[in-house]
Amino acid sequence: MATGHDAGSGMLPGQDYRRLQAQSLADPEQFWLDAAAAVDWTTPPTVALDGSDALLPRWFPDASLNTSYNALDRHVEAGRGGQAALVYDSAMLGTTRTLTYAELRDEVAVFAGALARLGVGKGDRVLVYLPMIPEAAVAMLACARIGAIHSVVFGGFAAAELAARIRDARPSAVVTADGGIEPTRRVEYLPAVQEALALADSTGTPVVVKARDGFGHGVAAYREPGTRWLDWDEAVAAAEAVPPVPVAATDPLYILYTSGTTGSPKGVVRDNGGHAVALTWSMRAIFGVGPGDTMLTASDVGWVVGHSYIVYGPLLAGATTVLYEGKPVGTPDAGTFGRLIEQHHARVLFTAPTALRAVRRADPAGAAVQAHDLSSLETLFSAGERLDTGTSAWIGDVLGVPVVDNWWQTETGWPICANPRGLGGVPLKAGSPSLPSPGYDVVILDPGGAPVPAGTEGSIALRLPLPPGTLTTLWGSDDRYREAYLSDVPGFYTSGDSGYLDEDGYLFVMGRTDDVINIAGHRLSTGAIEQVIAQHPVVAECAVLGLPDPVKGQRASGYVVLKAGAAIDPASLEAELVAMVRRSIGPVADFRSAVVVEALPKTRSGKILRKTMRQMAAGTAYAVPSTIEDPAVLAALEPLLRPVAGG
């Protein structure tokens, strides 16, 4: 491989955010060619962007590289082979395991050889259906090593969802494990894989199974005529290490299906070159993480955060990444994040607001977290849904570090808006993920597609072209990509989220565009009302729905979860919340209903199922999403929601 610059140090002193942002929009060609110097290329790029197709631009079209080499080999060759690359911490098993860069490279190279022995090669797809174990990262990086395209599916998805992804991606192999471990149960994976392959008419697809103690009958029970089920350890023992294969920068690295889709799944495609450049740049400029630093991202490899900031980002940067198998509470208690920070000397913690709210609900004083040594931590990053100001202020006080909300999507792969800590940062504003990251041109549009003034809420859109590292298309359907994201307003990618930019250019994300309600002709964001409700001292989390109203068209109804140990009369709480909303937003919100519930229904990635709740409360037909964390929570809500529909 041709040698480029080192992965670089975490901080970039003296850099000015606004100057870099202006440069990235005025001269993206030079900006991203400069950023590309931090990546090692087989053939370095001389052109940043091929915009011959305005809707399907390609980044670094004349370049080639290998992502696995950039994440592993180059650090070993630079003399850091003995540095910890991946720390596996399983609260479920009570064990930890550390893989150095040299050890992880060797495991990846051999498993890549095992895939090659199965006939997997450049451009082939591999479906990865694994729990949070080191083999998940090994499988992803092994695919990248031989130019195969991985498609990771969240461990525990039902057979029908697996089958839909198998039909769409047509993988040449499936990599899985006996099962995943939850705090109260073990989830068997192999029956779901077997059923999914049958549903997708793909029973002959090779299946590699990592054995875990305490599950079923193991891989032998699935070796039937016409099938190819292999044990991971046996496959590795028979394989030889293979070198990284150069691929075009524009070749796909992975397909990631968006959660909660209906009909045929939408497979977001990420390329190799733009992905490596964008993540390498974001690790330094946004997260301030470089070689030797430890990044603790409490997410799952099945989601985009896990792809970008558990596996690829930290390793591209030469950092140490923590792969955590467990929950924020209950494994064993609400001090888990504190224990992880102390034990692994994490410089950065990245998690979702729902995890923070779970910790706050279980331990309102934060004592369990503060019982640990948190001195290594410099910044908490949060993404996945809107971070309410109450939770942000609370966790900032508990940890004693800046709390950086950042906003992005599966489709973009890295933060659209964030506080660039590696550039020295910018002032924080409560309720805002700060400013657009260099490369992103964020515009707020009205329903007609025209830009709106500062402070006016509208649809959040990104001016084309999108920067490197964002989706290049949807798997197998350029037309569907154009229709889903680029057709609403010519020249813009529409995010599906609503919000506003203030006079300083800070973005405030209020929710999905379908969470904007119309009360007697006044358009209001349910997110704005939620932000007020979340400030009440006994509220752990909340959801506000827009429900049909025979007079005003729609009305707002709130559903709140109380903090652990909170004692308050529901009628008194409702009156207090109504008064708070009236003071903060005004009578126009016409907020009169607040219902206390035990829990809110969420996807496995922590997003509240507001649409499903809204359908249930309105009395319209709904389907229980396949991505739901606990269907029983939704069932328990139904008696509370149904009466609301009747008025």
CATH number where 108 lies? 3.40.50.980
In this model, does residue 644 exceed pLDDT 80?
A: no
Please report whether residue 184 resides in a domain: yes
pLDDT for res 11:
43
Q: Using one digit for the tens of pLDDT, what is the confidence trace for 41-60?
A: 999 999 999 999 988 999 99
Lowest pLDDT segment from 228-232, 460-464, 624-628: 624-628
pLDDT for res 322:
98
Task: Give the residue-averaged pLDDT of 61-88.
Answer: 98
Please report whether residue 124 resides in a domain: yes
In this model, does residue 22 exceed pLDDT 50?
A: yes
Lowest pLDDT segment from 173-187, 227-241, 428-442, 608-622: 608-622
Task: Give the residue-averaged pLDDT of 165-185.
Answer: 94
Domain end among 214, 248, 282: 248
Nearest in space to 257 (alpha carbons), one of 376, 325, 166, 365: 166
pLDDT for res 564:
87
pLDDT for res 609:
84
> How many C-alpha atoms does 155 have within 13 Å on its Cβ side?
24
Measure the CA–CA gap between 356 and 478, rounded to whole angstroms: 38
Q: Using one digit for the tens of pLDDT, what is the confidence trace for 274-293?
A: 999 999 999 999 999 999 99
Any residues with CB less than 8 A from the CB of 173 and at least 6 apart, and which?
115, 118, 120, 124, 126, 127, 205, 206, 207, 208
Domain end among 218, 248, 278: 248
Please report whether residue 528 resides in a domain: yes
Please report whether residue 589 resides in a domain: yes
CA distances to 158, 204, 206 from 229, rounded to whole Å, are 20, 9, 6
By residue range, what is the domain housing residue 216? 100-248
Please report whether residue 458 resides in a domain: no
Output 278 or 262, whichever has higher pLDDT: 278
CA distances to 130, 435, 527 from 502, rounded to whole Å, are 42, 10, 16
**pLDDT tier for residue 516 given thresholds of 50, 70 and 90:** low
Nearest in space to 247 (alpha carbons), one of 373, 63, 77: 63
- How crowded is residue 587: how many other Cβ atoms within 10 Å of its Cβ? 8
What is the identity of the amino acid at 28? P
CA dihedral 150, 154, 158, 159 (to 10 degrees): 10
Percent over 70 (pLDDT), the chain? 93
pLDDT for res 235:
97
Task: Give the residue-averaged pLDDT of 249-278.
Answer: 86
**pLDDT tier for residue 371 given thresholds of 50, 70 and 90:** very high
Measure the CA–CA gap between 344 and 541, rounded to whole angstroms: 29
Q: Tell me the whole-structure pTM to 2 decimals.
A: 0.84
Measure the CA–CA gap between 166 and 143, rounded to whole angstroms: 17
Q: Using one digit for the tens of pLDDT, what is the confidence trace for 134-154?
A: 999 999 999 999 999 999 998
Measure the CA–CA gap between 28 and 18, rounded to whole angstroms: 14
Task: Give the residue-averaged pLDDT of 156-179.
Answer: 91
Q: What is the mean pLDDT of the chain?
A: 90
Task: Give the residue-averaged pLDDT of 10-30.
Answer: 79
Domain count, the chain: 2
Domain end among 248, 273, 299: 248
Please report whether residue 298 resides in a domain: no
pLDDT for res 515:
67
Measure the CA–CA gap between 343 and 376, rounded to whole angstroms: 10
Task: Give the residue-averaged pLDDT of 349-367.
Answer: 92
CA distances to 7, 109, 398, 501 from 82, rounded to whole Å, are 16, 17, 34, 46
Percent over 90 (pLDDT), the chain? 68
- Residue 528 maps to which CATH number? 3.30.300.30
Please report whether residue 87 resides in a domain: no
Q: Using one digit for the tens of pLDDT, what is the confidence trace for 564-602?
A: 888 899 899 999 999 998 887 766 677 888 989 988 988
Q: Which residues is 176 bridged to in the sheet?
A: 129, 209
Q: Which two tokens stand for residue 396?
A: 């900032």
Please report whether residue 534 resides in a domain: yes
Three-class HEC string of 321-353: EEEEECCCCCCCCCCHHHHHHHHHCCCEEEECH
pLDDT for res 7:
39
In this model, does residue 65 exceed pLDDT 90?
A: yes
- How crowded is residue 199: how many other Cβ atoms within 10 Å of its Cβ? 16
pLDDT for res 646:
42
